Structure 1
Amino acid sequence: MKLSILDQAPIAKGYTAKEALEASVELAMLTDRLGYKRYWVAEHHELDGLASPAPDILLGIIGSRTETIRIGSGAVLLPNYKPYNVAERYHVLATLFPGRVDLGIGRAPGGTAEVSIALAGNFLEKVKNMSKLLDELLHFIHRDFPEDNMFAKIVATPLPEVAPVPWLLGTSEKSAQLAAEKGLPYVFGHFMSDADGPAIVKSYFDHCVTDKAKAIVTVNVICAETIEEAEKIAQSNLHWKVLQAKGEGKKGVPSIAEAEQFQYTNEEMKIIEKEKQNQIIGDPEHVKRELEKLQKRYNVDEFMIVTITHSYEARKRSYELLAELF
């Protein structure tokens, strides 16, 4: 089993966005040394307590501070951009860090309707054209436009020796179908989907037009030396989900002390219980068993781990324990 990382650059309450981004760079350096396969950075716009609207900028810093770990977007939300601009940016990264760059692509807005309009104008219209936008981006990456295409003579410079590797990310049957149709490797967001993930991933493998189909599954994990400690650390994450549901999560991931003092209503407890179902929380042996169960259900050899805690040190320790396991 191979492990990778999806970083949403969470801002812990009481910390600044600068400190959150610096913590992401430190985590990337640590996990590079620990032997993780990929470090991907998510794209979010004005979402509660998240500090990464521009993954490519953060990836430029992370790439310069690491040696072997692959770096990538998780994901570039393509309807927000022109494909040519995306190709240019990831060609810059692939030129600087040869053979290490992934280009994860998604269709979600990554923010509110107002943010989508500010970024891209008619976002919904661009979502409808997602397949066309994706084709255009892939042509720029692979330099294989048909000769009669208006973009055939345009080059997204600089041209790297090794092109960035495109992936398609999603949480639904529709995204799996598109990845299969385009022959792209696929990442399923188990951590943020109520859908039947194993069935969706199987459908992708069954219908992919290439014999090189590959899938990664993204999972929420909090690991500590003991189950009790992991559950205590997870309280801040779970409390944050309650605050977000109430529209009160903008100050960032709350502390454990704040979570412990809160009196939850029945409806809020339902939110917490639902969130627990989408997370693996425990000591190393428990986490290993649960990941192995998921591996059998999904039939994949790589998991991308999301870990959000109030303490950046607890987050690093969680990834250290996982590395020791696998």
Structure 2
Amino acid sequence: MKLSILDQSPISSGKSARDALHASLELAVLADELGYTRYWIAEHHDMDGLACPNPDVMLGLIGSYTKRIRIGAGAVLLPHYKPYHVAETYNLLATLYPDRVDLGIGRAPGGSAEASIALSGNFLENVRRMPDALDDLLHFLHNDFAEDQMFSKIKPTPVPHRSPTVWLLGTSEKSALLASRKGLPYVFGHFMSDADGPAIVKKYKEDGTGAIVTVSVICAETTAEAEQLALSSLLWNIQKGKGEGDGRVPSAGTAKNYAFSVEEQETIRKMRHKMIVGNPQQVRTQLEQLQKKYNADEWMIVTITHSYEARMKSYKLLADAVFDLNK
């Protein structure tokens, strides 16, 4: 069972964006040491609780601190950017860090409507054009525009020995079909989708080239500790959804003393159902059960806790449990 990491670079209460970004760097270094396959960092805009609006900058730094692990964006939100610019950026990263760079592509706005307009104007129109933009991006990366096309005269330099690997990210059958049609490997966001993930991934794998499933996991030495950490993450999601709080991940103590309404308790129940939470043995068992449903080629783990130390420990305990099983 292959494991990878999706890092949203969350900012905890009492911490700064700088603290969160340094914690992301430390997490990438740990993942490299533990044997995780890839480390990807996400793109978000104008979100008080998430520190990274530009994965490209962070990857330039993270690549220099790691040795083996593949690094990438999860995802570059293509409707905001010109394909040529994205190709230049990731060719540069692939030149710096040969055979290690992934380029995850998404179509979500990653922020508010106002932030989207500030970034790229008519976002909905850009989303409609995304399949064509994706084609242009792939042509730029593979340097295979038809000779009669204007863009055949240019190339996104520097051109690396091996192009970055392009992945398409999504949470619906529509994104899976697009990935299959373009011949791209696919990443399904189980942790943020209410769709029938196993059915979507199964359909994709009929013609697809490789599937990763992203799941929310919190692992601790005891079940009680894991559940306490998870409650903090769940409260954070509720507050984000309602626009309450300062956007930062609340402490376990805050979550424990929070008076959840009946409606919020039902929301927590639904969100908790999609998470994997427990001690190492429980987490490994739950992952194995989910694997039977998905038959994924790889699992990408997203872990949100108030304590950056608890997050690091969660990934270490998970690695110890799963990689021991692999032996």
Answer yes or no: is 1:28 the counterpart of 2:66: no
Q: Which residue of 2 aligns with 1:41?
A: 41
Q: Compare 297-306 and 182-191 and name the one that shifted more.
A: 297-306
CA deviation after TM superposition for structure 1 residue 250, in Å: 3.2
Q: Which residue of 2 aligns with 1:264?
A: 260
CA RMSD of aligned residues (A): 0.8
- C-alpha spacing 1:163/1:249, structure 2 compared with 1 (3 Å): farther
What amino acid maps onto 1:111 in structure 2? Answer: G
Matches within 5 A, 1:170-189: 170-189=170-189
Q: Which residue of 2 aligns with 1:88?
A: 88
Q: Which residue of 2 aligns with 1:254?
A: 250
User: Percent identity, aligned pairs only?
Assistant: 64
Matches within 5 A, 1:37-76: 37-76=37-76
Report if aligned partners of 1:172, 1:200 keep a CA contact under 8 Å in 2: yes
Aligned with 1:152: secondary structure?
Answer: helix
Report if aligned partners of 1:222, 1:307 keep a CA contact under 8 Å in 2: yes
Q: Which residue of 1 aligns with 2:301?
A: 305
CA deviation after TM superposition for structure 1 residue 5, in Å: 0.1
- 2: CA distance between counterparts of 1:79 and 1:228? 42
Q: Which residue of 2 aligns with 1:137?
A: 137
Q: Which residue of 1 aligns with 2:116?
A: 116
- 2: CA distance between counterparts of 1:51 and 1:249? 16
Matches within 5 A, 1:222-261: 222-261=218-257
Runs of 4+ off more than 4 Å: none
Deviations 1:219-239 (A, max 9, x none): 000000111110111121011
CA deviation after TM superposition for structure 1 residue 245, in Å: 2.1
Answer yes or no: is 1:314 the counterpart of 2:310: yes
Q: Compare 57-66 and 198-207 and name the one that shifted more.
A: 198-207
Match among 214, 222, 232 for residue 218 of structure 1: 214
Report if aligned partners of 1:145, 1:152 keep a CA contact under 8 Å in 2: yes
Report if aligned partners of 1:241, 1:271 keep a CA contact under 8 Å in 2: no
TM-score calculated relative to the size of structure 2: 0.97
What amino acid maps onto 1:269 in structure 2? Answer: Q
Match among 282, 293, 304 for residue 289 of structure 2: 293
- 2: CA distance between counterparts of 1:155 and 1:274? 48
Q: Which residue of 2 aligns with 1:102?
A: 102
CA deviation after TM superposition for structure 1 residue 325, in Å: 1.3
- 2: CA distance between counterparts of 1:31 and 1:250? 29
Report if aligned partners of 1:5, 1:304 keep a CA contact under 8 Å in 2: yes
Report if aligned partners of 1:177, 1:207 keep a CA contact under 8 Å in 2: no
CA deviation after TM superposition for structure 1 residue 246, in Å: 1.8
Aligned with 1:248: secondary structure?
Answer: coil
Q: Which residue of 2 aligns with 1:8?
A: 8
Report if aligned partners of 1:48, 1:244 keep a CA contact under 8 Å in 2: no
What amino acid maps onto 1:22 in structure 2? Answer: H
- C-alpha spacing 1:266/1:48, structure 2 compared with 1 (3 Å): farther
What amino acid maps onto 2:218 in structure 1? Answer: I
Q: Which residue of 2 aligns with 1:192?
A: 192
TM-score calculated relative to the size of structure 1: 0.97
CA deviation after TM superposition for structure 1 residue 48, in Å: 4.1
- 2: CA distance between counterparts of 1:55 and 1:37? 18
- 2: CA distance between counterparts of 1:27 and 1:136? 33
Q: Which residue of 2 aligns with 1:277?
A: 273
Q: Which residue of 2 aligns with 1:155?
A: 155
Gaps of 5+ in 2: 323-327
